[in-house]
Structure 1
Amino acid sequence: MAYSPTACLVVTIVLQVLVLVAIALRLYVRVGVKGNIAADDYMAVLATASYTGLSILYIIAMANYGVADPELRISEEQASTGLLLVLIGEVLYLISTYLVKVSVAFTLFRIVTAKAHRYTIYTLLLIGAILTTIACFWAVFLCKPVNHFWDRFRGTAGSCKSIRTLMAVHLVQASWTLISDLTLGLVIPGLVLWDSLMERRTKILVWFLLGFGSLAAIATIMRIVYLPSMTITDSPADNPIIVFWSILEAAIGIICSAAATWRPLVSRLRRSSTGSCQPLGS
């Protein structure tokens, strides 16, 4: 895969704008149209806040500190700052990804009644919480002392764990993410709708809307493909493609899960365009 630092920087900025627009429309639908904001919306807002922090860090770090840009010439001090931002960004990515899954799960709890389905969701969330916590701790405490990760340029004494252990932790976490995307986005909604009394056309539409968030699985698969190439050196420019797919994955998850809530807004706009005088917020 060809990698262009400038293109990735532009994509990150565009994704950030789209994420903010998506969450704003979600909140407008829930508050302005339906008048009912719930736990899944709060989780989506927290995921957006975490992703926004990740996105801003990535933009600053890539433009000024050589993160994911091997062609940018930087000083040792800048490289040290860049590695610190990489560490913070990794934690924010993990948190954002998990919160998106929690938001989708809370949305499903509104329509899921079968105990087997609910227990499946609870199990996924519990496993995800454990794996996300482990991955965060592993990232933060990869080196001993912790600051050795970003202070290696200053000759500080310390050591870091093997790259293979870090890769294994990320592969396990990514596998959970992929399984969760498919289970929460496609499998459980499909099982719920299969036994419903809706018309087939309506079933397909609802299944499509609920499963829209699973599109993030594509980015997850791409990240898994590149994870075996993960490296750790003294440069903040390591693993640019993995960083890019991580950002893309988190953004797609937020945007698509938000899009699944826009149906009332689309319906109101469609009625307005056909001449209905009914107020949008009624």
Structure 2
Amino acid sequence: MSEVDPNALFLPNLEGTALAIYVVSIVTGVVAFVVVSLRTYVRFHEQAFGLDDGLMLGGMVIYCVEIVLACLGAKSGLGTLNAKLNATQLVNSMMYLMLWMLLYICSLVLIKSSICMTMFRIASANQVYRICIFILLGIVISTFLTTFIGVLLLCQPVEANWNTSLVLEGKATCASMDAMIGLSYASTAGSIATDMACAVLPGFILWRTQMKMRTKLWVSVLLSFGSLASISTIIRTPFIAYYLNPADNLAYHVGNITLWSNVETAIGLVAGSLPSLRRFILTAVKKPSTDSENNKSNDTPLDLVTFGGSTPVASGGPSGGRKSRNRSFKNPTDLGTSVATVHAHGDGDWRRLRDEASSYDESKSSQGGIRMDYTYEVELSQGPEHRPAGFVR
């Protein structure tokens, strides 16, 4: 301690785990911020911003504050040996760790709740999946409440969590470190379980949707990307045991918990936002195609199936219960109308379609079937500003 400036609040240079916390937190924060910002822009642009988007955006805002606290903690001593810290830095590093921990818990519950709400929209027509998602959401919220309240109740007042002098002077009381370790392990187990559930459940839900197999696999991979967050959780788990001996370079060892938890949060933000950006990404990388190719529908749009919203349904034919999609002409100066005429004939040679369970008797039927002919009449005209000089209609 003789070489340490006793009045310094922050370390002059970062190295080892402290440097990793500082750099990784900033890099992952920037990546997560860009992805979530794009998601928010796309959802607002499509006028489909929903509860899941709001929850993810809230998790991103809290994560930005987490990054600031993690960097301040690293500058104060998180990830650094006690021999290189003064008394003030030891106290401040634990203070930043405690504040960071509370915000980490809040951001994680918002991110996982957002993913649950996204899956709920996918499975809106399946009661069994809806119940499973509600159970998963209940586990996420219960884990959050248990951990958050437990951390606040470890010491009274809360300041004693980082200022141990209050305990020595008899001005505060704290639970045993066994309680802290038990709480940490319970939170870790709940986090891993919910991470895996958020990764596996989308696969079962998407399997029954009316999407092409390629699209199902693509969306499942995007949503299951969040399972990588559980790897970060597993890596940080062994460092929880260092709470048993706070005098043994606690700030140095628990810095790894901050490091890998920030990685976990960033993965959750990115994984939860990528499905919303699927069409945006494909549009950005896809080469321009012909008008006919643009009018073809390759598969069900992801945001129609996954994210709900008031997307209109294109339809044609005799059904009057559906609303037709309003499509504009490629040339913005063209004005046009579309008329559809349907004719039904009873003298055709069509046969009635039926399944094996139908009790329909073809020999008793005298009806020939239904034929539909579509006739489209389109009238185009140009706006006045685009008409040739001297043109009179």
Asked if residue 246 in structure 1 is aligned to residue 278 in structure 2, the reply is no
Partner residue, 2:113: 102
Larger mean Cα displacement after TM superposition, 232-241 or 77-86: 232-241
CA distance in 2, matches of 1:43, 1:72: 42
CA distance in 2, matches of 1:4, 1:73: 13
From 171, 176, 189, the equivalent of 1:162 is: 176
The one-letter amino acid paired with 1:143 is C
Asked if residue 24 in structure 1 is aligned to residue 37 in structure 2, the reply is yes
CA distance in 1, matches of 2:106, 2:256: 20
CA distance in 1, matches of 2:280, 2:244: 46
CA distance in 2, matches of 1:254, 1:245: 14
- 1:190-227 residue CA offsets vs partner (Å, 9 max, x unmatched): 21222234332222112112222222121122223443
Q: Is the 8 A contact 1:87 1:140 kept in 2?
A: no
* 1:29 counterpart SS class: helix
Point out where structure 1 has 5 or more consecutive residues left out of the alignment: none
From 142, 149, 160, the equivalent of 2:161 is: 149
Partner residue, 2:195: 181
Larger radius of gyration: 2
Partner residue, 1:85: 96
TM-score (norm 2): 0.64
Larger mean Cα displacement after TM superposition, 215-224 or 84-93: 215-224
CA separation of 1:269 and 1:202: change in aligned 2, threshold 3 A:
same
1:145, CA displacement in angstroms?
3.0
Asked if residue 70 in structure 1 is aligned to residue 84 in structure 2, the reply is no
CA distance in 1, matches of 2:239, 2:162: 23
Q: Is the 8 A contact 2:21 2:70 kept in 1?
A: no
CA distance in 2, matches of 1:72, 1:31: 52
Point out where structure 2 has 5 or more consecutive residues left out of the alignment: 1-15, 295-327, 329-393
CA distance in 1, matches of 2:290, 2:236: 47
Partner residue, 1:40: 52
1:16, CA displacement in angstroms?
1.2
Partner residue, 1:256: 271
Which one has the bigger helix percentage? Answer: 1
Q: Is the 8 A contact 2:25 2:71 kept in 1?
A: yes
The one-letter amino acid paired with 2:20 is A
1:141, CA displacement in angstroms?
2.1
TM-score (norm 1): 0.87
CA distance in 2, matches of 1:13, 1:214: 22
* 1:6 counterpart SS class: helix
CA distance in 2, matches of 1:276, 1:227: 58
- Percent identical among aligned pairs is 26
* 1:69 counterpart SS class: coil
CA distance in 2, matches of 1:199, 1:150: 54
The one-letter amino acid paired with 2:94 is L
* 1:196 counterpart SS class: coil
1:104, CA displacement in angstroms?
0.3
CA separation of 1:71 and 1:79: change in aligned 2, threshold 3 A:
closer
CA distance in 2, matches of 1:84, 1:156: 19
CA separation of 1:262 and 1:233: change in aligned 2, threshold 3 A:
same
* 1:192 counterpart SS class: helix
* 1:262 counterpart SS class: helix
The one-letter amino acid paired with 2:265 is A
CA distance in 2, matches of 1:86, 1:156: 23
1:56, CA displacement in angstroms?
0.5
Partner residue, 1:209: 222
Aligned Cα root-mean-square deviation (Å): 2.5
CA separation of 1:54 and 1:230: change in aligned 2, threshold 3 A:
same
CA distance in 2, matches of 1:250, 1:244: 10
Q: Is the 8 A contact 1:167 1:227 kept in 2?
A: yes
CA distance in 1, matches of 2:107, 2:245: 23
The one-letter amino acid paired with 2:220 is W
CA distance in 1, matches of 2:290, 2:68: 42
1:21, CA displacement in angstroms?
0.8
Partner residue, 1:6: 19
* 1:110 counterpart SS class: helix
Larger mean Cα displacement after TM superposition, 7-16 or 150-159: 150-159
Q: Is the 8 A contact 2:199 2:227 kept in 1?
A: yes
Q: Is the 8 A contact 2:51 2:117 kept in 1?
A: yes
CA separation of 1:128 and 1:71: change in aligned 2, threshold 3 A:
same
CA distance in 2, matches of 1:125, 1:197: 25
CA separation of 1:276 and 1:166: change in aligned 2, threshold 3 A:
farther
1:276, CA displacement in angstroms?
6.6
Q: Is the 8 A contact 1:148 1:156 kept in 2?
A: no
